[in-house]
Amino acid sequence: MVISSIPSAPYYSLYFRHSGSSEYRVLGRIFVTSPSCGAFWPGLHPVQVRTNENWHVFGTRFSSGAIQVELSHLLGRDIVRPVDFDPMVNFNYGAGRIVRQMLAQLYEKPGQHESELPKSGLGMRQIELSLITLILEGLRHNYSKFVNGPGRNIAPWQVRTVEEFISENADRPLSLGNLAVIGGVSGRSLQYTFRRHRGCSPMKFLRRIRLERVRNELLHPIQDTTVTSAAMRWGFFHLGRFAAEYRQRFNESPAATLHKATRPHV
């Protein structure tokens, strides 16, 4: 089968394969996709795909507006030229490997993990923002050298401003770009300074705050409080990873915390 696409409006589609292969022709490039090599259909460029008979592919579509807004936040300036990504994505190493893992959690074996996936709200929106940031920071495009350029140090008050914003808005979907706007710096500078002075990235700091909010709910449960409901409410959709992070931070499982809070006191 041959598929030809000439977009009438800009959009981006990222594909990875569970099985089979296809030949892609885009931007003068010819490459073959497989479970270890994906394709990123970029913007308004025409694409031609030749595929075999037996294949299984997943696709995630991003609006050009979402990509452009987050990039503008990361760089701290307006984006004039469209973002052009390298159409070939290697899923074996670097950011491509992490992208593949995130997409696999969302799409592979949906029946097995359906109960762990957020249907809407904070969890799903946070996944979307995290994936867009990862794509802009880790995949190759015409703004890569600006996104990954050297960061400059920022003032302590800017770090505190971002920390306070995270604490007050941990129940909202947040991205690195959002936090960079609050600090009035580029995303790269914010990353650099947080790691230097706080020993973690801004997004890691956000996860810590959310873990503490989950723990507070488990320590003070209401009638329908469960580990799953508390974790989902604070954006943790992968319950296995959440439980491991929780145990590492608080030296007990979330279930143990809830059990201690609900057992009768003599």
Residue 145 sits at the vertex; the CA angle it makes with 44 and 137, to the nearest 5 degrees, is 70
Domain's final residue, options 115, 144, 173: 144
- 30 and 40 Cβ atoms separated by less than 8 Å: no
As to burial, measured by CB atoms within 10 angstroms (0-12 exposed, 13-18 middle, 19+ buried), residue 106 is: middle
Percent of the chain with pLDDT strictly greater than 70: 91
CA 100 – CA 108 distance, rounded (Å): 11
* DSSP single-letter state for residue 4: E
Report yes or no: 139 and 14 within 8 Å, Cβ to Cβ: no
Residue 211 pLDDT class (50, 70, 90 cuts): very high
pLDDT of residue 214: 96
Shared domain check, 137 and 107: yes
110 pLDDT tier (thresholds 50, 70, 90): very low
State the pLDDT confidence band at 70, using cuts at 50, 70 and 90: very high
Residue 113: per-residue pLDDT: 44
Range of the domain at 207: 156-262
Does 150 fall in a domain? no
Closest CA to 206 of 240, 182, 224, 227: 182
Q: What is the pLDDT of residues 145-179, one digit of tens each?
A: 888 766 556 777 888 889 999 999 998 999 999 99
For 80, counting Cβ atoms within 10 Å of its Cβ (0-12 exposed, 13-18 middle, 19+ buried), the class is exposed
Please give the average per-residue pLDDT across 74-96, as a whole number. 88
pLDDT at 165: 93
Tell me, yes or no, whether 47 and 177 share the same domain: no
Closest residue by Cα to residue 40 from 132, 130, 177, 108: 132
Measuring CA to CA, which residue among 215, 240, 185, 230 is closest to residue 75?
185
pLDDT of residue 114: 46
In angstroms, the CA 15 to CA 37 distance is 9
Q: Is residue 161 part of a domain?
A: yes
Do 139 and 160 lie in a common domain? Answer: no
* Residue 175 and residue 92 in one domain: no
If you average pLDDT over residues 117-143, what whole number do you get?
A: 79
Residue 58 has pLDDT above 90, yes or no: no
pTM: 0.72
pLDDT cut 90: percent of the chain above it: 31
* Mean pLDDT calculated for residue range 97-108: 77
